[in-house]
Amino acid sequence: MKFTFDIESPHKQYIQITAEIEVSKAETELFFPAWRPGRYELGDFAKNVNHFQILDEKGEKVEYQKSNKNTWIVQTSNVQTITVKYSYYAKDLNAGSTFLDASQLYVNPVNCCVFTDEIYNDPIQVELNIPDAWDVAHSLKVDNNSFTAANYDELVDSPFICSGNLQKTSYTVEGTTFYIWFNGIVKPDWKRLENDFKAFTISQIKAFSKFPTDEYHYLIQVLPYATYHGVEHSKSTVITLGPSYAVFEEFYKELLGVSSHELYHTWNVKSIRPVEMMPYNFKEENYTELGYIAEGVTTYMGDLMLYKSGVFNLKQYLQEMDKQIQKHMDNFGRLNYSVADSSFDTWLDGYVPGAPERKVSIYTEGCLLAFILDVHILKHTNNEKCLDDLMRELYLNYGDKGIGVSKADYLKEVERITNQTMQWFFDDYLHGTKAYTPLLIECLNEIGIKYNSTPVKSEFAAYLGAKIVEVNEATKIAALFPNSILDQAGAMVGDELLAMNGVSIQKNADRWARYFKNEEKVLIVNRGGKLIQLELPKSDEVYYQRYYLSQMKELSQAQKATFEAWKTV
């Protein structure tokens, strides 16, 4: 199989793609990927295809019929090779997309490369017709000026950037060379970057005992506007970050965070993979409940490795945990839907807010539950083992052997390392909706970390139970705390606040709420053109709060010992 990429008119953002595919059957099914790894929702990339045609080896048209949105039935009787020609519209620039303009050709092959079952495991050749002055950032093998992949899986797991603006550096750890590529407007601080990346790389490799590949590439698209996104691959990651001026200043911590997170994915999900995704099926959804391992553990360990390696200090690490706790407490879907169910439903609505109070984030819930599990392992092994040991065993005994991990496997390995019955943890917290704040506080206490809370600054949010936002000249309710004063009074998300106790609200809702704090209140709202009166009683109850962690001033010997074991690889 061979793919050729041409860019005849970059300003139109159409990439001309030619796929040469050997066939041997009278009828051949040709597929376009329906999704991409790292984003567990349907991508429907075939919607970007234009000028589609199929020719035989003589250049004559071959008959075909589209059977569904990403499948074509091709009549290949008496045909040995088909040539599929099409244009792919590449206007989106993020860490999982394909993009073309006058400055670059950036391709995630999983977005735009067709396949058949017959040649899926055959070697693939890639040719790029690009300007001579452009470099190519990639992880593919090079053979006679062409790029090669062992099979379709490797091809679609190997994004590349072709550009005249590429900059790179490299470092080596344990025999693996790591390349850091930047594309865009950026002034890298190479020395600082290499020192920090090398530090967290050493810690991660130490935790897993070895690295899965002999080279690795960070493909970093630096953009002039605010963005933050990363996607994992076996030998690389693509990261988009911006604005350019902030990447090595106030957003440098974000660059480190996303890079450490994506590197950890090299083991966790690219190797340690849910059994339902072993192998990937690009034709349809790959449902799994184990997002709390794939993304949850990675979110937790990605940041923790920055602390374990000395790249982050404790204050910086706790700030990242603060964010996760805040997201957890502000998402009331935690009362209704488990992280396992939410993982299954990423294919339904996992990356948009969706229905209020319906679901949770596999990143946030998985992260906090991974921390709890980490401390429980320390507790039940006298600080001799931790989550690092569990993940290393999963890598060596499953991922490195190409074996998928099931829920039963994970429970078995957790119970083996703790020598404790852990069914309660799975039933109540991973696959259930039992509130785990008390358990979280208990685990934080084990390592000498204090769990703090204080009312948020917004009076409406803290004491009336509504987050408010300014939309043009209007003040509107953006979220409601369940069973808060406003919720019980019948307020609705989207209500526009007009007046309180007869006084007009004009971008000063919090001030008036504070002024009338110790009084009963009458709130007038505009709801779809109708004026609604809401009566609010006096109350001192606090609703929305800010949650943050801090190290205890004095630690017991037990806390010190557990803390040291927790922060050490």
Q: Is residue 296 situated within a structural domain?
A: yes
Look at residues 242, 230, 233, 301 and name the one whose alpha carbon lies nearest to residue 269. Answer: 233
Q: What is the CATH number of the domain that holds 24?
A: 2.60.40.3650
Q: Report the pLDDT value the prediction gives residue 502, as an integer from 0 to 100.
A: 97
Q: How confident is the model at residue 350 (pLDDT cuts 50, 70, 90)?
A: confident
User: Across all residues in the chain, what is the average pLDDT?
Assistant: 97
345 — pLDDT class (breaks 50, 70, 90): very high
17 falls within a domain? yes
Read off the pLDDT band of 514 (50, 70, 90). Answer: very high
Where does the pLDDT of residue 559 fall: very low under 50, low under 70, confident under 90, or very high at 90 and above? very high
Three-class SS of 296-349: HHHHHHHHHHHHHCCCCCHHHHHHHHHHHHHHHHHCHHHHCCCHHHHHHCHHHH
Return the CATH number at 170.
3.30.2010
| pLDDT for residue 143 | 82
pLDDT score, position 40:
95
Residues 127 and 192 in one domain: no
pLDDT in tens, 245-292: 999 999 999 999 999 999 999 999 999 999 999 999 999 999 999 999
Say if residue 312 is in the same domain as residue 369. Answer: yes
Is residue 261 in some structural domain? no
H helix runs in 209-313, sequence order: 252-265, 291, 298-308
Residue 450 is predicted with a pLDDT of 98
pLDDT at position 352, please? Answer: 87
Task: Say which residue the tokens 């506007």 belong to.
Answer: 225
Distance from C-alpha of 321 to C-alpha of 449, rounded to nearest angstrom: 11
- List the domain range (segments joined by +) for residue 302: 267-452+550-569
Query: CA angle at residue 305 from 303 to 308, to 5 degrees?
Result: 120
At 333, the amino acid letter reads G
Does 88 fall in a domain?
A: yes
At 169-219, the pLDDT tens digits run 999 999 999 999 999 999 999 999 999 999 999 999 999 999 999 999 999
Domain count for the chain, please give it: 4
Regarding whether 429 and 340 lie in a shared domain, the answer is yes
pLDDT at residue 542 above 90?
yes
CB-based contacts of 541, cutoff 8 Å, min separation 6? 463, 484, 485
Q: Are residues 386 and 446 in the same domain?
A: yes
**Phi-psi bin for 59: left (phi > 0), alpha (psi -120 to 50), beta?**
left
**93 lies in the same domain as 39:** yes
Arithmetic mean of pLDDT, 121-131: 97
pLDDT digit string, tens, across residues 424-460:
999 999 999 999 999 999 999 999 999 999 999 999 9
The reported pLDDT for the residue numbered 121 is 97
Residues 187 and 102 in one domain: no
Is residue 422 located within the same domain as residue 340? Answer: yes
Return the pLDDT at 92.
Answer: 97
Residue pair 18/55 in contact (Cβ under 8 Å)? The answer is no
Specify the pLDDT at position 29: 98
Residues 521 and 497 in one domain: yes
pLDDT of 231 > 80? The answer is: yes
Calpha distance 78→90 (Å, rounded):
35
Q: Does pLDDT of 144 surpass 90?
A: no
Residue with token string 């953006």:
478
Residue range 467-512, pLDDT digits in tens: 999 999 999 999 999 999 999 999 999 999 999 999 999 999 999 9
Query: Is 77 in the same domain as 206?
Result: no
- If asked whether residues 84 and 42 sit together in one domain, one would say yes
- Report yes or no on 100 lying in a domain: yes
User: Is 259 among the domain residues?
Assistant: no
Please enumerate in sequence order all residues whose Cβ is within 8 A of that of 121, keeping only pairs 6 or more positions apart, or say none: 151, 152
pLDDT at 353 over 90: no
What band does 409 get if pLDDT is binned at 50, 70 and 90? Answer: very high
Cα–Cα dist 85/21, whole Å: 11
pLDDT at 501: 98
CATH number of the domain within which 381 lies: 1.10.390.10
The backbone torsions φ and ψ at residue 61, rounded to the nearest 5 degrees and listed phi first, read -65, 140
Domain boundary among 254, 285, 317: 254
CB 517 within 8 A of CB 459: yes
Do 18 and 106 reside in the same domain of the chain? yes
pLDDT of residue 145 exceeding 80, the answer is no
Residue 410 lies in a domain: yes
Q: What is the pLDDT of residues 436-446, one digit of tens each?
A: 999 999 999 99
The CATH number of whichever domain residue 503 belongs to comes to 2.30.42.10
Residue with tokens 């769990």: 451
Write out pLDDT tens, residues 64-91.
Answer: 999 999 999 999 999 999 999 999 999 9
- pLDDT at position 300 over 90: yes
Instruction: Write down the pLDDT at residue 545.
Output: 98
Q: Does residue 375 register a pLDDT over 90? A: yes
**Domain-terminating residue out of 206, 228, 254:** 254
pLDDT average, residue stretch 383-399: 98
Query: Which residue among 102, 131, 163 closes a domain?
Result: 163
- Residue 260 lies inside a defined structural domain of this protein: no
What pLDDT score does 215 carry? 97
- What is the pLDDT at residue 443? 98
pLDDT at 301 over 90: yes
18 and 96 inside one domain: yes
Confidence of residue 351 (pLDDT cuts 50, 70, 90): confident
Predicted structure pTM score: 0.97
